[in-house]
Amino acid sequence: MTEQPVPSSHSPERPHPAALAPHESGRRFGIRDGMFQAVAQGGGEHYLSAFALLLSATAFQLSILSAIPQLLGTWAQLISVKVSHWFPSQASQVYWGIIGQSLSWIPILVLPFLWPEYGPWLLIAGVAVYFTCTHFTSPAWNSLITDLLDPNERGAYFAKRSRVVAIISLLMLCSAGALLSFFEKHDLLWVGFTIIFLTAGLCRSASALLIRTITVFPQHNPSSTPTGFLSFLRTGVSSNFLHFLLFSGFMHAAVLIAGPFFVLYLIQDLHLAHWQYGAWLAAGILGQFLTLPGWGQFGDRFGNKALLTFTGLLVAFLPMLYLFSSAWLFLVTVNFFGGVVWAGLGLGLNNYVYDAVHPADRAKAVAVSSIVNAIGWTIGTVGGSLLIITVPNRLYLGTFILAPVSNIPFIFFLSGLLRLIVSATLLRTFHEPRQVEQRAHSRLLWELPFLKPFRQFSRRPPSLNQ
């Protein structure tokens, strides 16, 4: 994102500060809010599954931890749209949602220790409240920020924000992993979780205080069109958007077949230390950080459909690689490239929604998209929990026996295969809603962020001194 220069105080055409405030203050709040959110994500959300293992959670409970909070939280988005007229502004609605997120870290941390025999289930309940509050803010937040952005700069802006989130999450992941490893050596792992979860809650409180200092957000004018889930799908969206929803929902189902079990595989099966698990997580965030600006520029220039096409196919092969080696450095490398691909896929899935519907319907479209994704999320996690008790841990291919440390790598492979099927069949059913630069896929390949630098280097003119 390119900042506009501030006119000199001697210029007679200097605009009144109030004319710039809604645009600039809203954009800056979006970035600063991302900074505090990154602390909660990197030091809190990413270690919820590890905390569940401390509470002796089973594979089924890990699946529920992944599925139920997301599903309940996403329905909160529809409620958020329906009650938006209760709030004087979208900023007010976002504020109360952030307050709920901040307070939710207290039951997440305290209740499992008060009643340890029900620890995993109490953790699931607390996380459900947290994600309900998180999703409650999402439609208003997205509508608020996107209204302040030009359609052709959304990719660059959200890439910049995501990059800020990525680097701070990376730092928090490393710090939290080192902290947990330190307390693990002293058999005080619960102290480490207490510190990182309280820090996450305090940072969300700081974000709430930040939004209270801003009084120049545009007034909230909710749409008068139907806000019901089925009504909006029947009357408010195009067939193009419906096909996109199918792709997004099925992709989430395919991904979440494997998603909840990475922590189980890495910590319980491979016996990695918490700092090694943190480094694995950090590698993915580093991959996002390095390529997000390039993905944002790619989406702005060539469209989010092209972005989804490349990343939707690439993401299929990532979990398959876990079947070939369990070496820690190999797994870290795979997750680094996973971060590269997921940076583009996540950006494309989010920004396509903004482009495919009328501006007045964006809040509803975000909520509907999240509902569809949550349904896919739930189907995937439940399916994965069934596979983990049915898939064998050995595969016989004639005289060759493939026997990883557990059956989880086979589930990862099945997840990748389903992702490939979803991408190959559904990507062709929807199109780019914006007017963008058109190029053949063979030429677009060299515009991808991880290939473009090599292309530019190979075309660098020779030095005159040579």
At residue 217 the predicted structure's pLDDT band, cuts being 50, 70 and 90, is low
At residue 299 the predicted structure's pLDDT band, cuts being 50, 70 and 90, is confident
- Average pLDDT rounded to a whole number, residues 19-39: 70
From CA 213, how far away is CA 257, in angstroms rounded?
43
Residue of 233, 335, 227 lying closest to 277 (CA atoms): 335
Contact 63, 382 (CB under 8 A): yes
Query: Has residue 307 been placed in a domain?
Result: yes
Q: Residue 338's pLDDT is what?
A: 93
- Average pLDDT rounded to a whole number, residues 88-99: 81
Query: Per-residue pLDDT for 229 more than 60?
Result: no
**401-404: long-range pairs with CB below 8 Å, 24+:** 402/323, 404/323, 404/326
Contact 416, 432 (CB under 8 A): no
Query: Has residue 355 been placed in a domain?
Result: yes
Token code pair at residue 68:
């139920």
3-state DSSP call for residue 348?
helix
Query: Has residue 410 been placed in a domain?
Result: yes
Query: Has residue 32 been placed in a domain?
Result: yes
From CA 273, how far away is CA 56, in angstroms rounded?
17
Contacts of residue 244, Cβ cutoff 8 Å, sequence gap at least 6? 352, 353, 356, 430
- The residues that bridge with 51 in the sheet, in sequence order, are none
pTM for the structure as a whole: 0.69
Query: Has residue 338 been placed in a domain?
Result: yes
Q: Residue 452's pLDDT is what?
A: 63
Q: In the chain, how many domains are there?
A: 1
Q: Residue 250's pLDDT is what?
A: 96
DSSP states of 386-430 as a string? HHTTTS-S-EEETTEEE--SSSHHHHHHHHHHHHHHHHHHHGGG-
Residue 361 backbone dihedrals phi, psi, to 5 degrees? -100, 5
Highest mean pLDDT out of 17-26, 172-181, 203-212:
172-181
Q: Residue 195's pLDDT is what?
A: 93
Query: Has residue 464 been placed in a domain?
Result: no
Query: Per-residue pLDDT for 455 more than 60?
Result: no
From CA 118, how far away is CA 50, in angstroms rounded?
17
Query: Has residue 16 been placed in a domain?
Result: no
Query: Per-residue pLDDT for 13 more than 50?
Result: no
- Average pLDDT rounded to a whole number, residues 353-358: 82
Angle between helix 17-43 and 154-185 (nearest 10): 30
Alpha helices, H only, 186-273: 189-212, 229-235, 239-256, 262-263
CATH no. for residue 289? 1.20.1250.20
Q: Which domain holds residue 271?
A: 21-220+227-447
Query: Per-residue pLDDT for 465 more than 80?
Result: no
Query: Has residue 42 been placed in a domain?
Result: yes
Q: Residue 26's pLDDT is what?
A: 65
- Average pLDDT rounded to a whole number, residues 67-94: 76
